[in-house]
């Protein structure tokens, strides 16, 4: 019999406390997701930070194939490969914007908010990147497509010496990619409320 103050009661309490601590520290599978609302905010901030595409930059536009195949589902409602592709996209965006060479004409506060939300989404969704290795085969081709895409964006910036027009080309490309993600990966992003279409 376990009575209050007995060694068994203390052991039982310690065991329950340890289980409770482990449950709190370990992320539950239901919480491992990308937040659609935050991806939508990233898109909106990217759109607002520079305004309309400047006509003087039209001569700098280059053809860059969007990596839409990287975000295509294999028919399942939740596809770890798609989620990892979206996560990889966010980490690549974070890397591109990490060198602080964005145009001074862009709204500094909006750029800062954009970078903070990208980082927040990456930080809160690290579990997506470390999903079961079973999804590695599915992700290999997606990673290759995304690598080619982001290498091309980085090349545009370097070739044009991080000019304002080079950044506008990159911003334009990223807006299209984020719009595709938001409109085509509904089952792979967590939405706290009903989502809206992005135009």
Closest C-alpha to 84, from 73, 97, 94: 73
Q: What is the DSSP annotation of 94-159?
A: HHHGGG----TTS-HHHHHHHHHHHHHHHHHTHHHHT--GGGHHHHHHHHHHHHHHHHHHHHHHHH
Give the per-residue pLDDT at 28. Answer: 41
| pLDDT, tens digit, 9 for 90 and up, residues 36-65 | 888 999 999 999 999 899 999 999 999 999
Give the per-residue pLDDT at 80. Answer: 78
Residues lower than pLDDT 70 in the chain:
1-31, 74-78, 131-136, 186-199
Give the per-residue pLDDT at 189. Answer: 65
Q: Is 116 exposed, middle or buried (CB count within 10 Å of its CB: 0-12, 13-18, 19+)?
A: exposed
Q: How much is the pTM?
A: 0.77
Beta-carbon count within 10 A of 21 CB: 10
Residues 180/89, Cβ–Cβ less than 8 Å: no
């Amino acid at each position: 019999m376990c009575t209050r103050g007995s060694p068994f009661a203390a052991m039982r309490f310690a065991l329950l406390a340890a289980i409770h601590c482990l449950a709190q520290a370990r992320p539950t599978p239901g919480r491992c997701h990308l937040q659609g609302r935050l991806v939508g905010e990233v898109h909106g901030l990217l759109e607002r930070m520079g305004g309309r595409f400047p006509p003087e930059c039209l001569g700098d536009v280059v053809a860059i194939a969007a990596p839409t195949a990287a975000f295509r589902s294999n028919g399942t409602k939740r596809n770890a490969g798609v989620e990892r592709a979206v996560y990889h996209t966010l980490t690549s965006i974070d890397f591109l914007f990490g060198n602080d060479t964005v145009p001074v004409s862009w709204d500094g506060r909006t750029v800062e908010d954009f970078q903070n939300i990208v980082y927040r989404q990456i930080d809160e969704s690290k579990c997506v990147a470390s999903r079961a290795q079973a999804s590695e085969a599915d992700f290999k081709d997606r990673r290759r497509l995304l690598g080619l895409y982001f290498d091309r964006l980085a090349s545009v910036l370097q070739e044009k010496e991080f000019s304002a027009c080079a950044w506008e080309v990159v911003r334009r490309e990223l807006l299209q990619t984020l719009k595709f993600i938001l409109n085509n990966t509904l089952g792979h992003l967590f939405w706290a409320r009903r989502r809206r279409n992005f135009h």
